[in-house]
């Protein structure tokens, strides 16, 4: 490669180089002279490199053997433990790593030390010739012209209309991917069934909770009575109905109008589903009476009816109205008075329906 002018063959009409044309530039000295490697001049070094490549390929064989031995010799039978699996996993990995790295480093070493390392220069060819370019543009123009689409707007517009509507069936056929939402998100299992109030039971075993079990400062993860007996849609119901139950000093609760009888002796129940995007609000800070969502750190203050005091949630957690039945067990006096969980477009409408 001889001297190239200045690395930018095309000055005409380009503004980016405009400021520089008057300034003299350094000449491109061309590709630096090729430097021979040790293996190019010293046959001993070449022989050494050859041996090194062979050793690397050999280590690959060792790796393959390690893999096969680990696969067949380690038994994952009944008396195997986690440690057996870990050992096998490590050996399979080491075997594969040796097998692969041996080949890979061997080939690369071979290429770098022994194969010709002359850098060569190749001309770039234009992606297309100027002649092709003009011909292509002409062809497209001719095609458009011959269809007459520009002269016949009626054809163009009806075609556009038809093409715009034609994909609609392709969208419509997905209509059976799921049922209509209706008001399914607005109700949970807590609604009393045939006049019978649902008891609050422990998650996951489903044993009912007596008010006397709930000491000040304690917290219970709660599911509705009968959830575990569901055969279908158990997780769907659980995803809406899970509740946190806590007992505070009754004086620290300042129930708003209409919520005076939603708690019992300082025992309150709130939906565990975050109003942000639906993670379980699983952390209860006993000292500060805060509930914290571990996913996005929304923080709710129990003493202010779970008002949001930090984080991305915008709405308080819904409260579940509770009371105590004749046997001293905690029961929900009604369903939640608003939809639980993350907000959705129809949520306010559903809330109004519940309270009307």
Partner 1 sequence: MSATSTANAPAFVAKTKGGRITDFVDQRVGGSGILREFGRKVFPDHWSFMFGEVALYSFVILLLSGTFLTFFFDPSMAETHYDGSYTPLKNVEMSVAYSSSLDISFDVRGGLFMRQVHHWAALLFVASVSVHMLRVFFTGAFRKPRELNWVVGGVLLILSMAAGFTGYSLPDDLLSGNGLRIIDGVIKSIPVIGTYISFFLFGGEFPGTVIISRLYMLHILLVPALILLMIVIHLFMVVVHKHTQYPGPGRNDGNVVGYPLGPVYAAKAGGFFFIVFGVIALMAAFFTINPIWNYGPYDPSPVSAGTQPDWYIGWVDGALRLMPGVIGDFHFEYVIFGQVLTLNVLLPALVPAGLVFTILFMYPWIERWITKDDREHHVLDRPRNAPTRTAIGMAGFTFYCVMWAAASSDLIATHFHVALNDVTYWLRALFFIGPVIAFIVTKRVALALQRKDREIALHGRETGRIVRLPHGEFIEVHAPLDDYKRYKLVGFESPVPLPAVPNEHGVVTRKEKRRAALSRWFFEDRVAPASPAELEAAHGHHGQHEAVESAEGQKTLSH
Among the listed residues 43, 167, 178, 195, the single contact to partner 1 using CB under 8 A: 178
Cα 245 to Cα 205: distance, rounded to the nearest angstrom: 16
Phi-psi region at 194: left, alpha or beta (left = phi > 0; alpha = psi -120 to 50)? left
Among the listed residues 38, 58, 71, 147, the single contact to partner 1 using CB under 8 A: 71
Q: Which residues contact 355 (CB under 8 A, 6 or more apart)?
A: 337, 338
- Which CB, 9 or 195, lies closer to partner 1? 9
| Residue 103 structure tokens | 């080949």
CB 293 within 8 A of CB 276: yes
Binding mask 315-334 for partner 1 (x = CB under 8 A): x-------------------
- The interface region with partner 1, picked from 117-125, 138-146, 154-162, 245-253 by CB under 8 A, is 117-125
| Residue 328 structure tokens | 């001293």
**b/e burial code for range 53-81 (CB count within 10 A of at least 16 → b):** beebbebbeebbebbeebeeebeeeeeee
Q: Cβ of 243: how many Cβ atoms within 10 Å?
A: 27
Among the listed residues 36, 41, 83, 122, the single contact to partner 1 using CB under 8 A: 122
Q: Does 303 bind partner 1 (CB under 8 A)?
A: no
**Count of residues that bind partner 1 according to CB under 8 A:** 114
Q: Cβ of 15: how many Cβ atoms within 10 Å?
A: 6
Q: Does 153 bind partner 1 (CB under 8 A)?
A: no
Angle in degrees, CA 35, 41, 42, rounded to 5: 135
- Which CB, 122 or 327, lies closer to partner 1? 122
Among the listed residues 52, 96, 303, 334, the single contact to partner 1 using CB under 8 A: 96
Among the listed residues 21, 51, 62, 93, the single contact to partner 1 using CB under 8 A: 93
- Which CB, 206 or 250, lies closer to partner 1? 206
Q: Which of residues 72-91 bind partner 1 (CB under 8 A)?
A: 76, 78, 80, 82, 85, 88-91
* C-alpha dist (Å) from residue 295 to 282, 317, 319: 10, 15, 21
Q: Which of residues 31-50 bind partner 1 (CB under 8 A)?
A: 31-32
- The interface region with partner 1, picked from 71-79, 211-219, 317-325, 327-335 by CB under 8 A, is 71-79
- Which CB, 185 or 324, lies closer to partner 1? 185
- Which CB, 206 or 266, lies closer to partner 1? 206
The least distance separating partner 1 from the CB of residue 249, rounded to whole angstroms, comes to: 25
Partners of 269 in the β-ladder = 245, 320
Q: Does 252 bind partner 1 (CB under 8 A)?
A: no
The least distance separating partner 1 from the CB of residue 33, rounded to whole angstroms, comes to: 9
Q: Cβ of 109: how many Cβ atoms within 10 Å?
A: 17
Q: Cβ of 46: how many Cβ atoms within 10 Å?
A: 16
Q: Does 337 bind partner 1 (CB under 8 A)?
A: no
Residue 71: alpha-carbon gap to chain centroid: 34
CB 261 within 8 A of CB 323: yes
- Which CB, 295 or 323, lies closer to partner 1? 295
Q: Does 187 bind partner 1 (CB under 8 A)?
A: no
Among the listed residues 49, 242, 330, 332, the single contact to partner 1 using CB under 8 A: 242
CB 12 within 8 A of CB 76: no
Cα 331 to Cα 356: distance, rounded to the nearest angstrom: 23
- The interface region with partner 1, picked from 37-45, 134-142, 257-265, 290-298 by CB under 8 A, is 290-298
Q: Does 233 bind partner 1 (CB under 8 A)?
A: yes
Q: Does 169 bind partner 1 (CB under 8 A)?
A: no
Cα 191 to Cα 235: distance, rounded to the nearest angstrom: 17
Q: Does 247 bind partner 1 (CB under 8 A)?
A: no
Q: Does 16 bind partner 1 (CB under 8 A)?
A: yes
């Amino acid at each position: 490669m001889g001297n190239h002018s200045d690395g930018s063959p095309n000055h005409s009409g380009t503004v980016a180089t405009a400021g520089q044309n008057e300034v003299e530039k350094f000449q491109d000295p061309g590709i630096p002279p090729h430097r021979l490697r040790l293996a190019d001049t010293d046959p001993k070094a070449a022989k050494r490199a050859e041996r090194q490549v062979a050793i690397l390929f050999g280590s690959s064989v060792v790796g393959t053997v390690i893999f096969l031995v680990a696969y067949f010799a380690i038994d994952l039978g009944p008396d195997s433990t986690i440690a057996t699996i870990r050992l096998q996993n490590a050996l399979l990995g080491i075997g594969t790593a040796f097998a692969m790295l041996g080949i890979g480093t061997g080939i690369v070493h071979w290429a770098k030390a022994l194969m010709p390392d002359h850098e060569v220069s190749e001309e770039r060819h234009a992606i297309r010739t100027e002649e092709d370019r003009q011909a292509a543009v002409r062809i497209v123009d001719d095609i458009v012209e011959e269809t007459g689409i520009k002269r016949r707007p009626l054809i163009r517009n009806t075609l556009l209309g038809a093409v715009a509507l034609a994909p609609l069936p392709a969208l419509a056929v997905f209509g059976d991917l799921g049922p209509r939402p209706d008001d399914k998100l607005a109700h949970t299992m807590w609604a009393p069934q045939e006049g019978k109030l649902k008891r609050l039971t422990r998650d996951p075993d489903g044993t009912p909770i007596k008010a006397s079990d709930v000491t000040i400062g304690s917290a219970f993860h709660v599911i509705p009575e009968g959830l575990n007996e569901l055969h279908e849609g158990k997780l769907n119901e659980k995803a809406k109905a899970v509740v946190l139950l806590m007992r505070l000093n009754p004086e620290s609760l300042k129930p708003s109008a209409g919520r005076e009888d939603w708690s019992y002796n300082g025992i309150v129940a709130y939906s565990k589903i975050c109003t942000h995007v639906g993670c379980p609000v699983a952390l209860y800070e006993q000292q500060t009476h805060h509930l914290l969502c571990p996913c996005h750190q929304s923080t709710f203050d129990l003493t202010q009816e779970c008002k949001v005091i930090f984080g991305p949630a915008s709405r308080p957690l819904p409260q579940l109205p509770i009371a105590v039945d004749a046997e001293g067990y905690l029961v929900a006096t009604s369903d939640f008075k608003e939809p639980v969980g993350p907000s959705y477009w129809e949520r306010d409408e559903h809330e109004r329906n519940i309270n009307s």
